[in-house]
Amino acid sequence: MNYNKKTVKDIDVAGKKVLLRCDFNVPQDKATGAITDDKRIRAALPTIQYLLEQNAAVIACSHLGKPKGEWKESLTLAPVAKRLSELLGKDVIFAKDIVGEDAKAKAAALQPGQIMLLENLRFDKREEKNDPEFAKELASMAEVYVSDAFGTVHRAHASTAGVAAYLPAVSGFLIQKELEVMGGALANPKRPLVAILGGSKVSSKIGVINNLLNIADTIIIGGGMSYTFAKAQGAKVGKSLLEEDWIQYAGEMVEKAKEKGVKLLLPVDGLAATEFSADAEAHLVDGVDIPDGMMGMDIGPKTIQLYSDAVKDAGTVIWNGPMGVFEFPAFAEGTRAVAKALAETDAITIVGGGDSAAAVAQLGYADKMTHISTGGGASLEFMEGKELPGVACLLDA
């Protein structure tokens, strides 16, 4: 996969109509519809402001929630247009439809330096089907396509990939950074490359483990998935999270690492509990065997030391998946310690995955990382080395 793509700076946008795919999929209060976190709108500002400064006429578009091709008043982008207007300090013209009369008339009248927002793309079922006619109609309003919705680049939808067949397509600053930092780490990492993999299940991370085994110098396993690995190594796991169907696979991964000369680290101690609850008492297990009737909830102090040391001399660290049940304070220490180790190393540090990003933010280390990949599913597929349709469709640099 080629991560070297043209950006908004490599193309002339002055006086042109630019279709800008944003990720305005913001969380909303169920009762009032109020936007509860406008981080994604703020994240889009640098690209929008750049385009406006360049005197482009910006036709922004996004999806919101899962209307499944139907018009749902609760999922209108009108509140986003309002919030965007407040943040920009400038009018945001809102179209009442997507490729209908209102959108087309407003797009045609849009002047350089002005911005408008189309209604929720997923109100039209042709969007998620990547319908070529729909893509063509979207494209017909503009002269250039800029993609800046990293969270949807793993989907081949009309607005994320289809339109690129009809317009010159480049990335905005958000996607550019993802490609530079994450793409750089995958294609040409500063070594040693240490991959820390945790989270709940082996089965949801097979692709990531597989790909990183081919790239990394060291692989560190923690979290719920580590018990399937421990079981494969003959350890007792009590009633820890275990995926029976993946024990053999985990064993094979350990062998594959040996063959490739990749150092693979598994927990050497842990914290266990008799039940999965926030007020469960933490029992220190000084070894790899979890006692009967207990479940592993976090890595222990020796493992923390081992993992922190492995990160110290790294050139690059890619981290996906918490080391324990960090949502419960008694079992957050492993994840916190790894976050701290990443914060203190000179390595390029990259965090991918929805819960991992949330954990790093919750523990207060977000601004200490080189990069936190913003798309949950998209960043997982990125780490799997999969071709991302929303990236592949952009012009090569």
Task: Report the catalytic residues.
Answer: 40, 201, 354, 377
Work out what residue 119 binds among ligand ADP, Mg ion, none; the CB cut-off runs from 5 to 8 Å by kind.
Answer: none
Q: Closest distance between Mg ion and the C-beta of residue 352, in Å? A: 10
Candidate list 183, 238, 267, 296; residue touching ligand ADP; CB under 6 A: 296
Which three-class secondary structure state does DSSP give residue 7?
Answer: strand
Q: Closest distance between ligand ADP and the C-beta of residue 390, in Å? A: 20
Choose among 5, 110, 102, 2: nearest CA to 51.
110
Burial of 124 (0-12, 13-18, 19+ CB in 10 A): buried
Q: Closest distance between Mg ion and the C-beta of residue 204, in Å? A: 8
Does residue 377 belong to the site contacting Mg ion (CB under 5 A)? no
Alpha helices in the chain (DSSP H): 39-53, 78-88, 101-109, 132-140, 173-178, 184-187, 206-215, 226-232, 247-260, 301-312, 333-344, 354-362, 376-383, 389-392
Which residue type occupies 111?
Q
**Which segment (36-44, 271-279, 294-302, 346-354) binds Mg ion by CB under 5 A?**
346-354
Does residue 321 belong to the site contacting ligand ADP (CB under 6 A)? yes
Q: Closest distance between ligand ADP and the C-beta of residue 299, in Å? A: 9
Does residue 162 belong to the site contacting ligand ADP (CB under 6 A)? no
Work out what residue 297 binds among Mg ion, ligand ADP, none; the CB cut-off runs from 5 to 8 Å by kind.
Answer: ligand ADP
> Is omega for the bond preceding 46 within 30 degrees of 0, making it cis?
no
Candidate list 7, 54, 152, 320; residue touching ligand ADP; CB under 6 A: 320
- The angle at the Cα of 8, spanning 2 to 14, to the nearest 5 degrees, equals 150
Candidate list 137, 148, 355, 384; residue touching Mg ion; CB under 5 A: 355
Phi (first) and psi of residue 74, to 5 degrees: -70, -15
Burial of 391 (0-12, 13-18, 19+ CB in 10 A): buried
Q: Closest distance between ligand ADP and the C-beta of residue 238, in Å? A: 11
- Residue nearest ligand ADP (C-beta atom): 199
A 10 A CB-CB count for 304 gives: 22
Does residue 178 belong to the site contacting ligand ADP (CB under 6 A)? no
CA distance 347 to 319: 12
Work out what residue 325 binds among ligand ADP, Mg ion, none; the CB cut-off runs from 5 to 8 Å by kind.
Answer: ligand ADP
Work out what residue 321 binds among Mg ion, ligand ADP, none; the CB cut-off runs from 5 to 8 Å by kind.
Answer: ligand ADP
Does residue 241 belong to the site contacting ligand ADP (CB under 6 A)? yes
**Which segment (148-156, 157-165, 256-264, 353-361) binds ligand ADP by CB under 6 A?**
353-361
A 10 A CB-CB count for 90 gives: 14
Does residue 267 belong to the site contacting ligand ADP (CB under 6 A)? no
> Residues near 366 by Cβ (< 8 Å), separated by ≥ 6?
357, 360, 372
Work out what residue 189 binds among ligand ADP, Mg ion, none; the CB cut-off runs from 5 to 8 Å by kind.
Answer: none
Footprint of Mg ion on 290-329 (CB under 5 A): none
Task: Give yes or no for a contact between 174 and 47, defined as CB atoms under 8 angstroms apart.
Answer: yes
Candidate list 75, 174, 285, 297; residue touching ligand ADP; CB under 6 A: 297
Closest CB to ligand ADP among residues 107, 272: 272
Does residue 354 belong to the site contacting ligand ADP (CB under 6 A)? yes
A 10 A CB-CB count for 29 gives: 9
- Owner of token pair 């009032």: 32
Query: Which residues contribute to the site for Mg ion (CB under 5 A)?
Result: 354-355
Query: Which residues contribute to the site for ligand ADP (CB under 6 A)?
Result: 199-200, 204, 223-224, 241, 296-297, 320-322, 324-325, 327, 353-356
